[in-house]
Structure 1
Amino acid sequence: MSSTTDKIKGSANDAAGAVKKGLGKATGQKDLEAEGTAQQIKGKAQKIVGEAKDAVKKAID
Protein backbone atom coordinates (compact mmCIF):
# COMPACT_ATOMS: atom_id res chain seq x y z
CA MET A 1 0.00 0.00 0.00
CA SER A 2 1.16 3.53 -0.65
CA SER A 3 1.68 6.00 2.14
CA THR A 4 -1.30 8.03 0.97
CA THR A 5 -3.54 4.97 1.02
CA ASP A 6 -2.38 4.11 4.53
CA LYS A 7 -3.12 7.62 5.74
CA ILE A 8 -6.56 7.72 4.09
CA LYS A 9 -7.58 4.31 5.44
CA GLY A 10 -6.20 5.27 8.83
CA SER A 11 -8.26 8.45 8.91
CA ALA A 12 -11.36 6.54 7.86
CA ASN A 13 -10.88 3.93 10.57
CA ASP A 14 -10.18 6.61 13.16
CA ALA A 15 -13.38 8.48 12.25
CA ALA A 16 -15.54 5.35 12.08
CA GLY A 17 -14.14 4.22 15.40
CA ALA A 18 -14.97 7.56 17.00
CA VAL A 19 -18.57 7.26 15.78
CA LYS A 20 -18.89 3.70 17.11
CA LYS A 21 -17.31 4.69 20.40
CA GLY A 22 -19.68 7.65 20.80
CA LEU A 23 -22.71 5.63 19.84
CA GLY A 24 -21.75 2.86 22.23
CA LYS A 25 -21.23 5.36 25.03
CA ALA A 26 -24.56 7.08 24.32
CA THR A 27 -26.52 3.84 24.25
CA GLY A 28 -24.66 2.12 27.07
CA GLN A 29 -23.34 -0.63 24.80
CA LYS A 30 -19.89 -1.30 26.23
CA ASP A 31 -19.03 -3.78 23.47
CA LEU A 32 -19.70 -1.21 20.74
CA GLU A 33 -17.75 1.39 22.66
CA ALA A 34 -14.80 -1.00 22.97
CA GLU A 35 -15.03 -1.90 19.28
CA GLY A 36 -14.91 1.79 18.41
CA THR A 37 -11.87 2.35 20.60
CA ALA A 38 -10.09 -0.59 18.95
CA GLN A 39 -10.93 0.74 15.49
CA GLN A 40 -9.61 4.18 16.43
CA ILE A 41 -6.33 2.64 17.58
CA LYS A 42 -6.09 0.70 14.31
CA GLY A 43 -6.69 3.91 12.36
CA LYS A 44 -4.04 5.83 14.25
CA ALA A 45 -1.56 3.01 13.66
CA GLN A 46 -2.33 3.03 9.93
CA LYS A 47 -1.71 6.78 9.78
CA ILE A 48 1.62 6.33 11.55
CA VAL A 49 2.63 3.67 9.02
CA GLY A 50 1.79 6.07 6.17
CA GLU A 51 3.82 8.85 7.77
CA ALA A 52 6.75 6.48 8.32
CA LYS A 53 6.67 5.47 4.66
CA ASP A 54 6.78 9.15 3.70
CA ALA A 55 9.75 9.73 6.00
CA VAL A 56 11.66 6.79 4.55
CA LYS A 57 10.89 7.92 1.00
CA LYS A 58 12.10 11.46 1.77
CA ALA A 59 15.27 10.11 3.41
CA ILE A 60 16.05 8.01 0.33
CA ASP A 61 15.44 10.91 -2.06
Structure 2
Amino acid sequence: MGESAMDKAKGKAKEMAGKATGNERLKSEGKVDQAKSDARNAADKARGKAEGMRDSLTDDK
Protein backbone atom coordinates (compact mmCIF):
# COMPACT_ATOMS: atom_id res chain seq x y z
CA MET A 1 0.00 0.00 0.00
CA GLY A 2 1.52 3.31 -1.09
CA GLU A 3 1.79 6.42 1.01
CA SER A 4 -1.10 8.01 -0.86
CA ALA A 5 -3.36 5.00 -0.33
CA MET A 6 -2.49 4.97 3.37
CA ASP A 7 -3.39 8.67 3.64
CA LYS A 8 -6.69 7.97 1.91
CA ALA A 9 -7.48 5.08 4.28
CA LYS A 10 -6.44 7.14 7.32
CA GLY A 11 -8.62 10.01 6.13
CA LYS A 12 -11.61 7.75 5.60
CA ALA A 13 -11.17 6.27 9.09
CA LYS A 14 -10.98 9.75 10.64
CA GLU A 15 -14.06 10.87 8.74
CA MET A 16 -16.05 7.82 9.84
CA ALA A 17 -14.91 8.22 13.46
CA GLY A 18 -15.90 11.88 13.32
CA LYS A 19 -19.33 11.01 11.95
CA ALA A 20 -19.84 8.28 14.57
CA THR A 21 -18.89 10.53 17.48
CA GLY A 22 -20.36 13.77 16.15
CA ASN A 23 -16.87 15.33 16.12
CA GLU A 24 -16.93 17.79 13.21
CA ARG A 25 -13.22 18.59 13.54
CA LEU A 26 -12.20 14.95 13.17
CA LYS A 27 -14.61 14.52 10.28
CA SER A 28 -13.09 17.55 8.55
CA GLU A 29 -9.54 16.33 9.16
CA GLY A 30 -10.48 13.06 7.49
CA LYS A 31 -11.80 14.87 4.43
CA VAL A 32 -8.60 16.95 4.24
CA ASP A 33 -6.44 13.81 4.44
CA GLN A 34 -8.44 12.27 1.60
CA ALA A 35 -8.12 15.41 -0.51
CA LYS A 36 -4.34 15.43 0.06
CA SER A 37 -4.22 11.83 -1.10
CA ASP A 38 -6.18 12.65 -4.24
CA ALA A 39 -3.91 15.61 -4.97
CA ARG A 40 -0.81 13.47 -4.50
CA ASN A 41 -2.24 10.84 -6.86
CA ALA A 42 -2.97 13.48 -9.50
CA ALA A 43 0.52 14.96 -9.19
CA ASP A 44 2.14 11.53 -9.47
CA LYS A 45 0.04 10.72 -12.52
CA ALA A 46 0.93 14.03 -14.19
CA ARG A 47 4.61 13.51 -13.37
CA GLY A 48 4.51 10.07 -14.94
CA LYS A 49 2.89 11.38 -18.09
CA ALA A 50 5.39 14.23 -18.35
CA GLU A 51 8.29 11.81 -17.95
CA GLY A 52 6.80 9.56 -20.61
CA MET A 53 6.47 12.48 -23.02
CA ARG A 54 10.02 13.60 -22.28
CA ASP A 55 11.32 10.09 -22.87
CA SER A 56 9.45 9.78 -26.16
CA LEU A 57 10.88 13.09 -27.37
CA THR A 58 14.45 12.24 -26.43
CA ASP A 59 14.35 8.60 -27.55
CA ASP A 60 17.12 7.98 -30.10
CA LYS A 61 15.63 5.11 -32.10
Q: TM-score, normalised by structure 1?
A: 0.81
Aligned to 1:53: 47
Which 4+ runs in 1 deviate beyond 3 A? none
CA RMSD of aligned residues (A): 0.9
Aligned to 1:16: 10
Percent identity over the alignment? 30
Q: For residues 19-38 of structure 1, what are the structure 2 equivalents within 5 Å?
A: 19-38=13-32
Listed as ranges, the gaps of 5+ residues in structure 1 are 1-7
Q: TM-score, normalised by structure 2?
A: 0.81
Bigger RCO of structures 1 and 2 (CA < 8 A, at least 6 apart): 1
Instruction: Give aligned pairs, total.
Output: 54
Asked which structure has the greater CA Rg, the reply is: 2
Listed as ranges, the gaps of 5+ residues in structure 2 are 56-61
Aligned to 1:4: none
Offset from partner CA, 1:16-43 (integer Å, 9 cap, x none): 1011001110111111000000110011
For residues 53 and 33 of structure 2, the distance between their equivalents in structure 1, rounded to whole angstroms, comes to 30
